[in-house]
């Protein structure tokens, strides 16, 4: 049963309408009248509580969604630096990797992984080890709008990236800001200064927001609709098996590598607020003009994945229309997802094309 309540002026109008529609009398007898009492002039509307305060900060960093109020315009307007970081056992621990806003982990030759670390809100003094570019890197980081920083690459890959309009900063192409550390042997000892890289990208602007952030945290997609989880284990190959463990006390995911905490050279364990795990296809490039290497196919592609925000997980779909287009993340029903403000790691896990099985275990 549906009950409709009509209050105030609408109720009075309804009564007057009924009276107007009543049949007229012709015998001159007494007429029926309807009296509607006017509201008392002393009646006042009840006071309403004040509107809740908007939980979104007035100004936010575009890649983390965190509060940027009080930060100088020069820092907020600077470009994001996408720096290629090595992740082999010989390269760990890395320097200042914990300062990156966003990190992508990709599969490369030999089954090892490398990282595309995107720095914007925090430019540490130096980062590394910095290693070579792969053909998918320009497509992974193109939407951030900043330079791609690396040590070198096959000439055909450098040409393709440059021809696409991507600004390249590399030791091989004459860029400055790189140095060799005496603490490690080559090729695992190339480091760089983000401030020097920024100088060479001064004509570029800050990145646009890449995905939606939720305010407050509990309204994020995974928090609102997902299921609780505390453990992530990924098997890309015998040489790459990253994992994440939820720390309720710190409110972040702590990264492990080869079964041990993945720490920086300063001893800080790497962490993330959001872990986005995407199933991707890998194809090997031709060997014309250089050796064949695995390439993660991204442009014009889509696939399945998982979004883990805070202590909850939800299945998602991903797509990327082109090199400079945003990563599109949606629910399986097609609605855009929102993340908790903070650092985000993307795990690009091959689902075919690498000649061996891979796995994703979230519990």
The 3-state DSSP composition of the chain as helix, strand, coil percent (nearest 5) reads 15, 35, 50
Q: Is 69 exposed, middle or buried (0-12, 13-18, 19+ CB in 10 A)?
A: exposed
* C-alpha to C-alpha distance for 139 and 134, rounded to whole angstroms: 10
Asked if residue 111 lies in contact with residue 353, where contact means CB atoms within 8 angstroms, the answer is: no
Asked if the peptide bond before residue 45 counts as cis, ω within 30 degrees of 0, the response is no
Q: Which of 140, 90, 139, 144 is nearest to 115 (CA)?
A: 140
The pLDDT of residue 56 is 85
* C-alpha to C-alpha distance for 80 and 98, rounded to whole angstroms: 15
The pLDDT of residue 289 is 87
Neighbours of 110 (CB within 10 A): 13
Q: Is 238 exposed, middle or buried (0-12, 13-18, 19+ CB in 10 A)?
A: exposed
Name all domains of the chain by residue range, CATH numbers in brackets: 73-362 (3.50.90.10)
Quote the Cα angle for 332-337-342, to 5°: 140
* C-alpha to C-alpha distance for 96 and 222, rounded to whole angstroms: 29
What pTM was estimated for this model as a whole? Answer: 0.85
- Buried-state track 145-154, b at ≥16 Cβ within 10 A, e below 16: bbbbbbbbbb
- SS3 track for 149-168: EECCCCHHHHHHHHHCCCCE
The pLDDT of residue 55 is 84
- Buried-state track 44-60, b at ≥16 Cβ within 10 A, e below 16: eeeeeeeeeeeeeeeeb
From first to last of its 363 residues, what are the pLDDT tens digits of the chain?
222 222 333 333 333 333 333 444 444 444 434 343 444 555 555 666 666 667 889 999 999 999 999 999 999 999 999 999 999 999 999 999 999 999 999 999 999 999 999 999 999 999 999 999 999 999 999 999 999 999 999 999 999 999 999 999 999 899 999 999 999 999 999 999 999 999 999 999 999 999 999 999 999 999 999 999 999 999 999 999 999 999 999 999 999 999 999 999 999 999 999 999 999 999 999 988 899 999 999 999 999 999 999 999 999 999 999 999 999 999 999 999 999 999 999 999 999 999 999 999 999
Q: Where does 135-213 show beta strands of DSSP type E?
A: 148-150, 168-170, 178-180, 190-192, 212-213
């Amino acid at each position: 049963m549906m009950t409709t309540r009509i209050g105030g002026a609408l109720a009075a109008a309804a009564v007057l309408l009924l009276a107007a529609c009543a049949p007229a009398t012709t015998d001159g007898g007494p007429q029926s009248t309807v009296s509607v009492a006017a509201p008392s002039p002393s009646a006042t509307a009840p006071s309403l509580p004040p509107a809740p305060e908007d939980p979104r900060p007035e100004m936010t960093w575009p890649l983390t969604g965190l509060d940027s109020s009080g930060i100088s315009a020069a820092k907020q307007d600077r470009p994001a630096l996408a720096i290629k970081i090595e992740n082999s056992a010989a390269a760990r621990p890395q320097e200042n990797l914990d300062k990156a806003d966003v990190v992508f982990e990709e599969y490369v030759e030999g089954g090892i992984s490398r990282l595309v670390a995107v720095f914007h809100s925090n430019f540490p003094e130096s980062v590394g080890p910095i290693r070579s570019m792969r053909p998918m890197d320009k497509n992974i980081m193109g939407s951030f709008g900043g330079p791609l920083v690396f040590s070198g690459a096959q000439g055909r890959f450098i040409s393709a990236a440059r021809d696409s309009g991507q600004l390249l900063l590399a030791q091989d192409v004459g860029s400055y800001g790189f140095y060799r550390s005496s603490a490690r042997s080559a090729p695992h000892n190339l480091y760089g200064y983000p401030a020097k890289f920024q100088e060479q990208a001064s004509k570029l602007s800050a990145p646009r927001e890449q995905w939606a952030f939720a305010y407050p945290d509990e309204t994020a997609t995974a928090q609102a609709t997902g299921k609780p989880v505390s453990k992530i284990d990924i098997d890309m190959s015998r040489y790459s098996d990253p994992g994440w463990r939820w720390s309720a006390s710190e409110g972040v995911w702590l990264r492990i590598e080869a079964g041990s905490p993945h720490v920086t050279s300063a001893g800080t364990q790497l962490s993330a607020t959001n872990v986005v795990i995407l199933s991707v296809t890998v194809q090997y490039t031709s060997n014309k003009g250089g050796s064949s290497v695995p390439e993660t196919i991204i442009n014009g592609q889509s696939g399945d994945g998982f979004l883990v925000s805070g202590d909850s997980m939800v299945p998602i779909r991903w797509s990327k229309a082109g090199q400079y287009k945003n990563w599109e993340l949606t629910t399986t029903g097609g609605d855009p997802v929102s993340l908790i403000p903070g650092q985000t790691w993307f795990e690009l896990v091959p689902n075919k094309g690498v000649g061996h099985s891979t796995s994703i275990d979230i519990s």
